[in-house]
Chain A
Amino acid sequence: GESVGLHLPTLSVQEGDNSIINCAYSNSASDYFIWYKQESGKGPQFIIDIRSNMDKRQGQRVTVLLNKTVKHLSLQIAATQPGDSAVYFCADLDWRANSKLTFGKGITLSVRP
């Protein structure tokens, strides 16, 4: 079946550095992707999304890149801050399956002071 997954379970970065979180997906028909952030003890929170007709989208300090050729997307966080420490999930929305949102495995981002 289709799956959305992340390459590494944990990522440790120095405060102020840029972070890159990677995600692979297997469903070639996926056309809409989302990144979520989950802080400890809280529910996931929407960060940024991207549609398949784009290869890059920027938000505030975050950029999502989509490479459809290799079915890969990434989340880049500029000037990582302690408040960025959380679990990050990529997800894809399948319009054909009643808009089901499928999450990949989470990756923990830990920011070193």
Chain B
Amino acid sequence: DTAVSQTPKYLVTQMGNDKSIKCEQNLGHDTMYWYKQDSKKFLKIMFSYNNKELIINETVPNRFSPKSPDKAHLNLHINSLELGDSAVYFCASSPMFTGGTGELFFGEGSRLTVL
């Protein structure tokens, strides 16, 4: 049973295209996140949602639009893809929004390559 699952695992596309990455967690957590990991392994938070409500939007370009239809799902849609969007995108979840631990449960990542 995969706790946090992302699809697709690999995505290769042309500049200017629009693509989506889906994430689902079966842990019953209230909070979900999107992180971007660049080629130097640097992990940067993009968004966090608590119970479907946007909590953190870390100055990400408007081309990135997260959507949370329910607290078990957090999808990421990217419009007009650029070369610099190439990265591994990680979805994560945690049980508590505040007062909890820093233990995030990460998916296995979605590697996006923009040509």
- Which residues does A use to contact B, with CB under 8 Å? 32-34, 38, 41-46, 49, 87, 89, 91, 93, 95, 97-103, 105-106
Contact = CB atoms under 8 A, between A and B. Distances in A.
A105 B41 CA distance: 7
B12 interface: no
Contacts of B90: 43-44
Bin chain B's interface residue count: 20 to 34
A11 B42 CA distance: 17
Contact of B107 (A38, A43, A98): A43
Contacts, number: 65
Which 8 residue pairs spanning A and B have beta carbons closest together? A43-B106, A34-B102, A103-B43, A106-B41, A93-B102, A46-B103, A98-B55, A44-B106
A87 B41 contact: yes
B104 interface: yes
Nearest to B45: A100
B74 interface: no
Interface in B32-65: 33, 35, 40-45, 48, 55-56, 58
A42 B102 contact: no
Interface in B62-115: 90, 92, 97-98, 100-109
A91 B101 CA distance: 12
Contact of A101 (B104, B105, B109): B104
Contacts of B104: 44, 46, 101
A43 B92 contact: yes
Given A43-B106, A44-B43, A100-B45, 12 more contacts: A38-B41, A41-B109, A42-B108, A43-B109, A44-B106, A46-B105, A89-B43, A93-B102, A99-B98, A100-B56, A101-B102, A103-B43
Contacts of A101: 33, 45, 102, 104
Contacts of A103: 35, 42-44
A7 B79 CA distance: 37
Contacts of B108: 41-43
